[in-house]
Amino acid sequence: MADQELTDRVQELISENPVLLFMKGTPEAPRCGFSMRTVQVLDTMGVEYGAIDVLPALQPLREVTSEISDWETFPQLYVKGELLGGADIVEEMAASGELATALGVEQPETAEVPESASELPAQSPPLKIEGS
């Protein structure tokens, strides 16, 4: 059973911050490879986000997120109050463009289709139907 006061505080943070990352360490000094990868993805998206270091209260926070989100591992990225996932999901969503959509930003250029490929081919004349 998670601590009620901590649960309330976590829910408050999730609702107050449109983009919130629970991570091990800080964005400047991540203390876990998965947290670092998630920070790198967020940085390429160019969004502002809140970050909470879970290490000082790892076990109590695990219990809280287990209850409110059915998820016990960190990092956890919340966007508009919803848990999107951890490092693997965030990376997959970044690659597919789903993350940019969820964040309401343009897909960063590195993942964009080159301009030449998006140009429409010259149109061929419409086929003429004979015998009508």
Partner 1 sequence: MPADLLELKGMIEAALPGSTAAVIDETGTGDHLRAEVKAPQFEGLTRINQHRLVKAAVRSRFDDGTIHALTIKVIE
Distance in Å, CB of 105 to partner 1, minimum: 19
Residues β-bridged to residue 20: 50, 78
The strand ranges marked E within the chain are 19-23, 50-53, 76-79, 82-85
Stretch binding partner 1 (CB under 8 A), from 5-13, 47-55, 78-86, 111-119:
78-86
* The residue type at 64: V
> Burial level of 91, CB count in 10 A (0-12/13-18/19+)?
middle
DSSP single-letter state for residue 127: P
Rounded to whole angstroms, how far apart are CA atoms 89 and 99?
9
CB of 4 to partner 1, least distance (A): 24
Q: Which of 41, 42, 64, 83 binds partner 1 (CB under 8 A)?
A: 83
Among 84, 94, 100, 103, binds partner 1 (CB under 8 A): 84
- Structure-block tokens of residue 81: 């109050």
Binding mask 26-65 for partner 1 (x = CB under 8 A): ----------------------------------------
Single residue of 75, 85, 103, 107 touching partner 1 by CB under 8 A: 85
Residues in contact with partner 1 by CB under 8 A are 70-71, 73, 83-85, 88-89, 92-93, 98
